[in-house]
Structure 1
Amino acid sequence: MTEIHLAQQAEADELLGRSPLAALVGMLLDQQVPMEWAFSGPYTIAQRLGEDDLDAHRIAAYDPDAFAALLSDKPAVHRYPGSMAKRIQQLCAFLVEEYDGRAEAVWADAADGAELLGRLLALPGFGRQKAQIFLALLGKQYGVRPRGWREAAGAYGESGAYRSAADITGPESLAKVRAFKQEAKRAAKTAKSSGN
């Protein structure tokens, strides 16, 4: 099991450390909400399903309205629980179809970083940035390091960087990633207002 600190909550982080599907779902949820909220989502979903892990087959087959309601219960799993419920089910259905429901099969036998990036890009809900961040997370924290993984992850693969979820190992690194993101937003705003 891998020691993870993305949710900053012991039970949620423990699940992320032992469940490849939980890690993928957490990454999927990581948009438009604080990172800790996103990465605690898989644990909340598992609890509400009455399970100690997530199962792609079960989630893919779950009644869509009931699954959306499960994510919408207070406290909601995401700011947009309905659309995220749909995305999680699409992701799980894809994993069932392509990988027999085994999330780890996405990266288990990837020949190199470029192939792994391609597989991540094929996942529903994973654009380039999300795929590269998850690839960096796999390499930096889960020990999944096919040849060329850092290059395929782009800037997120850099050693010693504090850019994304891939770099969070505790409260101190979380604060550094937050500061990096705020600075990037500020710079983007400044560039936009100056017409660049």
Structure 2
Amino acid sequence: MQISMPVDAEANELLTRSPLALLIAMLLDQQVPLERAFSAPRDLVKRLGREPTAEELADFNPEQLAAVFGERPALHRFPKAMAARTQELAKLIVTDYGGEPTAIWTTASSGAELLKRIEALPGFGAQKAKIFVALLGKQLGVRPPGWREAAGQFGAEGSHLSVADIYDAESLGEVRSYKAALKAAKK
């Protein structure tokens, strides 16, 4: 299966191929347009001149990583904080999953366990964790028993609530319409 976010083909290919890149993109998907968040891993690779491993990011000099995140255009609105959070994520992957990001989901025996693991990741609150479970299930075929239930409303078939439901320009429009309606209802 192919990730199809509203970013260029090179960024989508990296997100599809690299579980670490996908986790970083999801981590960065806050307080910036989703196009920026999901392009950032590709830009990080370009700036480093290679695809980093979890081990490399975990061991990176924090000030240097913050500088890489802060190069213009910055990888996030808050480059220093998000560089630190990305490094925390990498360290957790190294210590808890042997440096293998896919182990987070390939070794989960149920949707509930998968959700618990994702909620434990730095920068992944309850809602973001549910959205990521939905993204894994809907777009990458990661479907341990109970994954839809663990994803809550985001796991519903045919929904257009989050990045988990973006496959093309039409679905992007539907997700954006849903989010605009939510904002309007809050006012």
Which range, TM-score by smaller chain? over 0.9
Provide the residue aligned with 1:87 in structure 2: 85
Provide the residue aligned with 1:41 in structure 2: 40
Q: Tell whether the 8 Å contact from 1:135 to 1:153 is kept in structure 2 after alignment.
A: yes
| % identical aligned pairs | 53
Q: What's the secondary structure of 1:32's corresponding residue?
A: coil
Instruction: Pick the aligned partner of 2:165 from 158, 164, 167.
Output: 167
Q: What's the secondary structure of 1:169's corresponding residue?
A: coil
Output one character per residue of 1:135-191: Cα deviation in whole Å (capped at 9) or x when no partner: 0000000000001100000000011111101000111111111111111011112xx
Q: What's the secondary structure of 1:153's corresponding residue?
A: helix
Provide the alpha-carbon RMSD of the alignment.
0.9
TM-score for the superposition, normalised by structure 1: 0.93
Q: Tell whether the 8 Å contact from 2:6 to 2:169 is kept in structure 1 after alignment.
A: no
TM superposition shift of 1:7: 4.3
Mapping for residues 120-159 of structure 1, pairs under 5 Å: 120-159=118-157
Q: What's the secondary structure of 2:32's corresponding residue?
A: coil
TM superposition shift of 1:49: 0.9
TM superposition shift of 1:41: 0.7
TM-score for the superposition, normalised by structure 2: 0.98
Mapping for residues 77-116 of structure 1, pairs under 5 Å: 77-116=75-114
Pick closer, same or farther for the CA change 1:82–1:7 going to 2, 3 Å.
farther
Provide the residue aligned with 2:2 in structure 1: 3
Return structure 1 stretches of 4+ with deviation > 3 angstroms. Answer: none
Output one character per residue of 1:92-116: Cα deviation in whole Å (capped at 9) or x when no partner: 0110111111110000021110010
Q: How many residues align?
A: 187
Q: What's the secondary structure of 2:23's corresponding residue?
A: helix
Q: Tell whether the 8 Å contact from 2:37 to 2:76 is kept in structure 1 after alignment.
A: yes
Mapping for residues 55-70 of structure 1, pairs under 5 Å: 55-70=53-68
The answer to whether residue 61 in structure 2 is matched with residue 72 in structure 1 is no
Alpha-carbon distance between aligned partners in 1 of 2:177 and 2:70, rounded to the nearest angstrom: 30
Provide the residue aligned with 1:192 in structure 2: none
Alpha-carbon distance between aligned partners in 2 of 1:93 and 1:29, rounded to the nearest angstrom: 16
Instruction: Pick the aligned partner of 1:177 from 160, 175, 178.
Output: 175
Pick closer, same or farther for the CA change 1:92–1:7 going to 2, 3 Å.
farther
Question: In the alignment, residue 11 of structure 2 is paired with which amino acid?
Answer: A
Alpha-carbon distance between aligned partners in 1 of 2:170 and 2:10, rounded to the nearest angstrom: 20
Question: In the alignment, residue 163 of structure 1 is paired with which amino acid?
Answer: L
Give ranges in structure 1 of 5+ residues lacking alignment: 190-196
